[in-house]
């Protein structure tokens, strides 16, 4: 990125703070709506943040979401401290979940969290160390309009 970010902020999430689940995604959505991104770009980002935020809330001890909004794209760096992911390939599969019964009662555990994040990203990378934590690095780029 050659340009300076239009906006930059780090959001902290505490693990097991279920009542706040999804709150950061709404804050980030409001922030992004002030810029010139399309509603679709904002929605994709909000969905990514919601899922990432819930992953931290459900599975980690704590985590941070760093938002860097550039003119051409939105970057998210999501890092958590906690149990990490044992098998990333499995975790990326639709329907695979390690959710507990308590989490499922709240409507979580569809096993679509990481797949939903990846589907909405233009660039997506994930790394994890069991017993330490997980990092996601994501870029959301606006759809290029086709000109006839």
> Which residues of this chain interact with other proteins, rule CB under 8 A?
18-19, 21-23, 25-26, 29, 39-40, 43-44, 46-47, 49-51, 54, 92, 106-113, 115-116, 118-126, 141, 143
- Give the closest residue to 68 by CA, choosing from 147, 142, 137, 146: 137
- Least CB distance to other proteins at residue 56 (A): 13
Residue number, 4 or 108, with CB nearest to other proteins: 108
- Least CB distance to other proteins at residue 4 (A): 25
Residue number, 4 or 69, with CB nearest to other proteins: 69
């Amino acid at each position: 990125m050659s340009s300076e970010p239009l906006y930059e902020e780090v959001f902290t999430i505490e693990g097991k703070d279920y009542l706040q689940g999804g709150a950061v995604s709404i804050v980030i959505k409001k922030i992004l709506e002030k810029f010139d991104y399309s509603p679709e770009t904002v929605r994709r980002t909000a969905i990514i943040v919601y899922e990432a935020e819930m992953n931290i809330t459900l599975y980690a001890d704590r985590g941070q979401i760093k938002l860097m909004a550039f003119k051409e794209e939105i970057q998210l760096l999501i890092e958590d401290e906690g149990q990490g992911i044992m098998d990333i390939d499995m975790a990326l599969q639709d329907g695979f979940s390690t959710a507990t019964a308590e989490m499922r009662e709240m409507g979580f555990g569809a096993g679509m969290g990481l797949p939903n994040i990846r589907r909405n990203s233009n660039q997506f990378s994930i790394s994890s160390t069991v017993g330490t934590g997980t990092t996601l690095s994501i870029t959301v780029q606006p759809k290029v309009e086709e000109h006839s």
